[in-house]
Chains A and B, each alone.
Chain A
Amino acid sequence: MKTNKIFISGDEAVAQGVRLSRPHVIAAYPITPQTITVERLSEMVEAGEMDGEYMHVESEHSAISATMGASAVGARTFTASSSQGLLYMAEGLHYCSGGRWPVVMMNANRSVALPWSIYGDQRDSLSLLDCGWIQVYVEDAQEALDMIIQAYKIAEHKDVLTPMMVNLDGFILTHTYELVEIPEQKMVDEFLPPFQTPNKMSFEEPKNLGFSSKPDDNTEFKYQQNEAMFKAVDVIREVDQEFAEKFGRKYHDMVEEYRCEDADVVLVALGSVCGTVRVVVDKMRAAGKKVGLLKIRYMRPFPEAEVKDLAQRVQAIGVIDKDISFGYEGTVYTNVNSAISKIDKYVFKSNFVGGLGGRDITKAEIEDMFNHLLDGIEKKSEEKVEFFSLNVETND
């Protein structure tokens, strides 16, 4: 296969993925560290490399409202945000999933004020897990580009019709440069056909959308929305398989297991930190320790089957959370723990909360986490929920 690799940042990789997906309407408001994506897109529109309408909206709330409006007449749409901007969209996020408009969004994961921080953690998107969007977390710039293309195919599938958020860690992924393979437009066009939806206003078949429901009907609509999210699991598999056949890159569906085959203990993580965990896994494996990584790609729909399957095979599971649900534990941990609780087996568990507001997660810290889990299966350590860089348990 002919290759076309260029040296670009994660933000630029997203812009390339968007260009190749041919959206009709792009509406976005600038926010660090998402800005490079929308700058590149506006340059592509200016240069005539894209046909879409680029809307200079005056806020994130209008960005999501405008993309919903465009989607409601059958247009393919893109928006991008981060942190405070994503939270400002929150009303629209629920509205969009309820309206079944398959908007695709890039979210540059960034901490949430106060205190202000432009740096990365995952509190922005994880605090919005319940808004009805498919959420995927990527590990590098290539995956970011590829997932934008996949996102349209998944979100627009007739059984799904659900918006999708592609998350990449602020600065660590958005602003670092990698060699990224840029697929050929012709191949993307073959992979991703034009958007077709029954859920649109048209002059041939006028519709009233965005309507009110009474208590007699509301649950049925919410049931259908939930069904679509479950159906997305199969569609995610099909699309990833088709993508692998077409472009030669496979992302292992809902989760990726790294050296988990015979592992005793496994760390679960999302996004860019997975790269660091892989390095630590290799080092500890070389020293004879049976450790592995479970990279969760999709937080919604949640990979419950995959987590349960892994839990059947290992003795201890730790979860790295770049977020905290104040007064309890990390949100990823809550979700993982819920899946583990559904199997009839004891698994030693711990939650490692950190990397907040852009703080590095070091290899030494990850090694400590693995050692804590290994000690746990020998009853030499206790389960804990810990702010690991502070060395304190969350309820101390």
Chain B
Amino acid sequence: MTNLVDIPKVNAKNMTEKEFFYGHKACAGCGGSVAVRLALKVLGERTYTALPAGCMSAVGFIYPQMAFNTNAIITTFPGAASMASGIAAGAKALGQKDVKTVVFAGDGGTADIGFQALSGMIDRNDDVLYICYDNEAYMNTGIQKSGLTPYGTKTTTTPAGKNIPGTVTHKKNLFEIIAAHDIAYAATASIGYPQDFLNKVNKAKHTKGATFIHVYASCPTGWGTPTETSIEIAKDAVDCGLIFLAEFEDGEYKLNRNPKEFASVKDYLKKQGRFKHMTDEDIQCVIENRDRKWARMRKQWL
């Protein structure tokens, strides 16, 4: 394993001014594009980027206007991880050195349709960093429920009405499912805490083999939030405890933030159109689920 203590830090001051993802057609305030932009600044020019069908591929590769300044490719929807594995295997077989392959996939592309290939990629320990930008629904196709859509969310396939209060399931425990593969390095992050995200991408960059980062990325279009609050809302999600910042390394879990008190869940939810319909009972259900999860994490990980 690489000695991660010695790797050079990347921060806003020393980060490259080169842009590797620009001229794309993402919505104003898109959190996913922030995650891609920042991660590529850490990973640099010797990077192969693979993206399945989803927002970032849809807005980045419209012939002849290509938005990636580095090598990049759209993959089959279920095959992002396996195509990236193939890229890494091909690069290795051709004797290419000092190369990183990265995937940027949405929550549906990761936790649903792309999950089998992702599991295979981690099982083989292929030299790929897989980054899931989680905006909590299939946004590219018009806001449909995915396996990472949280309880209560109104989407176009989980409408909130008199009979059903929107989404009735909780998010999959994606981070722990990935960690259960005994992966070399996995982390959760949020674009609301960019330095933490940069550090984690940097760590993954310097870790040989399969690595995974689950980054929370706001979506004004799908969430019903003002475009200028994208970073703030992604920070709020962490502060109210619905999103946690953690790492899995050398077989151990680590909570990066363990606040004594959480900010208000209700305030976070009520800022967003997708949760506007939620009753106090619905919100109580979300809070109880959060508390159950934190109690378990604190008991098992600390």
Q: Which residues of A contact B (CB under 8 A)?
A: 24-25, 27, 51-53, 55-59, 61-75, 77, 91-92, 95, 201-203, 206-214, 217
Do the beta carbons of A62 and B82 come within 8 Å of each other? yes
Residues 187-213 (chain B) with a chain A CB within 8 angstroms: none
Q: Report B67-109 CB contacts with A as 1/0, cut-off 8 Å.
A: 1111111111011011111111111111010000000000000
With a cutoff of 8 Å between Cβ atoms, the chain B residues found around residue A66 in the complex are 79, 82-83, 85-86, 89
Extra contacts besides A56-B123, A72-B73 (11): CB < 8 Å: A59-B120, A65-B83, A66-B83, A70-B90, A72-B86, A73-B90, A203-B45, A203-B46, A206-B70, A210-B73, A210-B75
Given A211-B63, A211-B66, A212-B63, A55 contacting B86 (CB threshold 8 A):
yes
- When the two chains form the complex, which single residue of A61, A74, A77, A213 contacts B76, counting CB atoms closer than 8 Å? A61
Do the beta carbons of B63 and A213 come within 8 Å of each other? yes
- When the two chains form the complex, which single residue of B66, B82, B91 contacts A57, counting CB atoms closer than 8 Å? B82
Given A62-B79, A69-B84, A217-B63, A51 contacting B70 (CB threshold 8 A):
no
Do the beta carbons of B68 and A208 come within 8 Å of each other? yes
Q: Which residues of B contact A (CB under 8 A)?
A: 45-46, 48, 50, 57-58, 60-64, 66-76, 78-79, 81-94, 96, 116-117, 119-120, 123-124, 126
B48 to chain A, nearest CB (A): 6
Given A25-B90, A67-B86, A69-B84, A201 contacting B48 (CB threshold 8 A):
yes
With a cutoff of 8 Å between Cβ atoms, the chain B residues found around residue A59 in the complex are 116-117, 120
With a cutoff of 8 Å between Cβ atoms, the chain A residues found around residue B58 in the complex are 212
Do the beta carbons of B71 and A206 come within 8 Å of each other? yes
Do the beta carbons of A69 and B94 come within 8 Å of each other? no
Tell me the nearest residue of chain A to B78, going by C-beta.
Answer: A61
- When the two chains form the complex, which single residue of A51, A65, A207 contacts B71, counting CB atoms closer than 8 Å? A207
**How many angstroms from the CA of A115 to the CA of B287 in the assembled complex?**
50
Given A58-B116, A213-B63, A74 contacting B85 (CB threshold 8 A):
no
A52 to chain B, nearest CB (A): 6
A196 to chain B, nearest CB (A): 12
**How many angstroms from the CA of A355 to the CA of B36 in the assembled complex?**
54
Q: Counting chain A CB atoms within 10 Å of each CB, which of B50, B57, B84 scores highest?
A: B50
Tell me the nearest residue of chain B to A70, going by C-beta.
Answer: B90
Do the beta carbons of A69 and B117 come within 8 Å of each other? no
**How many angstroms from the CA of A143 to the CA of B85 in the assembled complex?**
32
With a cutoff of 8 Å between Cβ atoms, the chain B residues found around residue A73 in the complex are 48, 87, 90-91, 94, 96
With a cutoff of 8 Å between Cβ atoms, the chain A residues found around residue B92 in the complex are 53
With a cutoff of 8 Å between Cβ atoms, the chain A residues found around residue B82 in the complex are 27, 57-58, 61-63, 65-66, 69
Q: Counting chain A CB atoms within 10 Å of each CB, which of B45, B69, B71, B88 scores highest?
A: B71
With a cutoff of 8 Å between Cβ atoms, the chain B residues found around residue A57 in the complex are 82, 85, 120
Do the beta carbons of A203 and B63 come within 8 Å of each other? no
Do the beta carbons of A208 and B85 come within 8 Å of each other? no
**How many angstroms from the CA of A217 to the CA of B50 in the assembled complex?**
23
- When the two chains form the complex, which single residue of B62, B91, B119, B126 contacts A214, counting CB atoms closer than 8 Å? B62
B68 to chain A, nearest CB (A): 5
Given A55-B124, A212-B74, A71 contacting B90 (CB threshold 8 A):
yes
A30 to chain B, nearest CB (A): 14
- When the two chains form the complex, which single residue of A61, A64, A75 contacts B90, counting CB atoms closer than 8 Å? A75
Do the beta carbons of B72 and A61 come within 8 Å of each other? no
Do the beta carbons of A75 and B61 come within 8 Å of each other? no
**How many angstroms from the CA of A71 to the CA of B117 in the assembled complex?**
18
Do the beta carbons of B89 and A55 come within 8 Å of each other? yes
Do the beta carbons of A25 and B45 come within 8 Å of each other? no
A274 to chain B, nearest CB (A): 36
Do the beta carbons of A65 and B76 come within 8 Å of each other? yes
- When the two chains form the complex, which single residue of A61, A67, A75, A201 contacts B93, counting CB atoms closer than 8 Å? A75
With a cutoff of 8 Å between Cβ atoms, the chain A residues found around residue B84 in the complex are 69
With a cutoff of 8 Å between Cβ atoms, the chain A residues found around residue B123 in the complex are 56, 58
Q: Counting chain B CB atoms within 10 Å of each CB, which of A57, A66, A91 scores highest?
A: A66
With a cutoff of 8 Å between Cβ atoms, the chain B residues found around residue A211 in the complex are 61-63, 66, 74
Tell me the nearest residue of chain B to A218, going by C-beta.
Answer: B63
Do the beta carbons of A69 and B45 come within 8 Å of each other? no
With a cutoff of 8 Å between Cβ atoms, the chain A residues found around residue B79 in the complex are 61-62, 64-66, 92
Q: Counting chain A CB atoms within 10 Å of each CB, which of B57, B60, B67, B91 scores highest?
A: B91
**How many angstroms from the CA of A27 to the CA of B102 in the assembled complex?**
20
With a cutoff of 8 Å between Cβ atoms, the chain A residues found around residue B93 in the complex are 24-25, 51-53, 70, 75
Do the beta carbons of A208 and B116 come within 8 Å of each other? no
A99 to chain B, nearest CB (A): 9
